[in-house]
Structure 1
């Protein structure tokens, strides 16, 4: 049979890698190709457990996508922004505040950052079931490739990570995989995200912060590395460390839902986005993510069957397991509130703002 015709689209040319001497986090690099055996997975599980107890972030290589395949995906990622008119974008805006769903566009100036400044970020979100809703005309021919990419991210990146994390808790390795079905009801999605340069006035008002320090609300966040330096994580010594670009690598971190499930053992690390270094400030910053959530009906209570948690102890956010929120409820509450709610200043820490969501104190670091 003839090969399917790949749609021709403009090439997105990324920025050159920065030459600035930045204070980078020394993150572990996990090679998934080494996890094809029981012994290999056991060794990788220890590496992941150690990485999650230090920075809470780590790199993935050996994930099965080539450099050329990823270049194609970045070309695809730019289409919803550069090949769709502002008028057409309005037709596909996500009803985020009303429904707690990101599916569709988040247009610029939706989130409040600081000092009256709103964001200069666009994102387009596509459920792993790409046919769940309609898409802009320019995106439609690319849906088969996006669908294939989502399946690969789920089966060949997410599931191996979940197995390693379950092994790290001394649980059966499919424990968390079974909470993240590919064909079940869930909001797990692909995000294409584009940051645009801001004015000097906005940079001054926000102290160059583009997204406040925050934790993700899902279980696992998968970020495909790109060259514009802007992502920082809050290290255990309370300093901000930059995330270095590694060609064709993936950056992984846990979110709130994973912290709940692991009783606080796998911590959701605080991270933020800031103005890039001077040699990259005239470029846009294009990102590709696979944001992973447990199935809607998963209750976010600690996995108390874990022998490791039984030995070490664990944290409960709710007195009784039945009081813990379902994944769907936590997702809707966090999504609808982000960048829209009124935050209170912390009494204990300067430049920390707080809100209570589903009985949990959520903190934002500015």
Structure 2
């Protein structure tokens, strides 16, 4: 993060952690301070592989940024929402369906949730190449910090994790790093995301679901933990479990691209967002993310030279010859999400076809 005098911005005060007795997933904790030695990486890779085969989510601690730096990035994250008027937001809204890109704002009520109810979620998305788009006036002075944050996430968090994912498949450590270049053409990006409280009528119509169960589009999703208890994962026994907030920790999961590249070994993890528990209702939920996405020209075929895949087999969702590039897959899923006419195929599961691939949504 830049060490010069920083612009003064309001301090964002989140909700206090919930005191409700929720059912939390028992997630593995990956201590990133241990990646500096081969022995440490080997042990962490085994932990990570086990975490991915059980819950599909894990925590990361000791990632190198302090609690003060954590609080600063949440202060920054709130500015695109509280410091920018609705009229100015419209000027910087992305043409998501046409471009297949989230860059800029996704405004509220863009996605259809259920029962005619549209979302109450805003997010502001910034490519790691922060010069790709113009930014609202209130955000402009913060761009150096956002750029530094993106670079830190990419090089100091994403890349070390990608090495662990590769080791878990008994591949050379740099296998996935080599297709997630920081200076390559690609869509890895920072997202600031704000959920706003909804009406009782909307809660009833959607059965309290704010964002349907889904998998992410890229390879690795990094969520900076925040206290509002709304994120749930679908466990192997079909139950939804909450993700517990850990101070200055990261919550990490795999997305579609890593599932394709790993031949189904690391599955895209199913998760959703629901209304917070009673003692947190009425608060906004501010999120900070870094989404790792392979380079645009990467064809999403399995690394079938993996000794692990040779032992356990490859689970394909399409033939290698039909595999999309990262750019094609990411754009297609982005364009379709929340806009498609989903078909109910089984109780609680809806489907759509994207690039010839069945994509499910859990409701």
What TM-score does the superposition give when structure 2 sets the normalisation length? 0.99
Q: Deviations over 1:270-325 (max 9, x none)?
A: 10000000000011000000011100000001110101101111112223x23100
1:326 matched residue in structure 2: 325
For the aligned residue pairs, the C-alpha RMSD in angstroms reads: 0.9
* Equivalent-residue separation in structure 1 for 2:310 and 2:267 (angstroms): 17
Matches for 1:254-293 after TM superposition, within 5 Å: 254-293=254-293
1:356 matched residue in structure 2: 353
* Equivalent-residue separation in structure 2 for 1:4 and 1:246 (angstroms): 29
* Equivalent-residue separation in structure 1 for 2:321 and 2:163 (angstroms): 26
* Equivalent-residue separation in structure 1 for 2:300 and 2:317 (angstroms): 10
Distance apart, 1:4 and its partner CA:
2.5
Matches for 1:164-243 after TM superposition, within 5 Å: 164-243=164-243
1:147 matched residue in structure 2: 147
Structure 2, unmatched stretches of 5+, are: none
2:84 matched residue in structure 1: 84
* Equivalent-residue separation in structure 2 for 1:313 and 1:166 (angstroms): 16
Q: Deviations over 1:24-50 (max 9, x none)?
A: 000000000011101110000000000
For the residue of structure 2 that corresponds to 1:139, the secondary structure is helix
For the residue of structure 1 that corresponds to 2:137, the secondary structure is coil
Matches for 1:67-106 after TM superposition, within 5 Å: 67-106=67-106
* Equivalent-residue separation in structure 1 for 2:48 and 2:4 (angstroms): 39
For the residue of structure 1 that corresponds to 2:141, the secondary structure is helix
* Equivalent-residue separation in structure 2 for 1:27 and 1:166 (angstroms): 20
Matches for 1:88-127 after TM superposition, within 5 Å: 88-127=88-127
2:334 matched residue in structure 1: 335
For the residue of structure 1 that corresponds to 2:353, the secondary structure is strand
Matches for 1:129-140 after TM superposition, within 5 Å: 129-140=129-140
1:312 matched residue in structure 2: 312
1:157 matched residue in structure 2: 157
* Equivalent-residue separation in structure 1 for 2:15 and 2:4 (angstroms): 31
* Equivalent-residue separation in structure 2 for 1:51 and 1:88 (angstroms): 43
Distance apart, 1:132 and its partner CA:
1.1
2:302 matched residue in structure 1: 302
1:62 matched residue in structure 2: 62
Q: Deviations over 1:305-362 (max 9, x none)?
A: 101101111112223x23100000000100000000100111xx20211001011100
For these two proteins, the number of residue pairs brought into alignment is: 362
* Equivalent-residue separation in structure 2 for 1:339 and 1:55 (angstroms): 25
* Equivalent-residue separation in structure 1 for 2:46 and 2:197 (angstroms): 40
For the residue of structure 2 that corresponds to 1:138, the secondary structure is helix
What TM-score does the superposition give when structure 1 sets the normalisation length? 0.98
1:9 matched residue in structure 2: 9
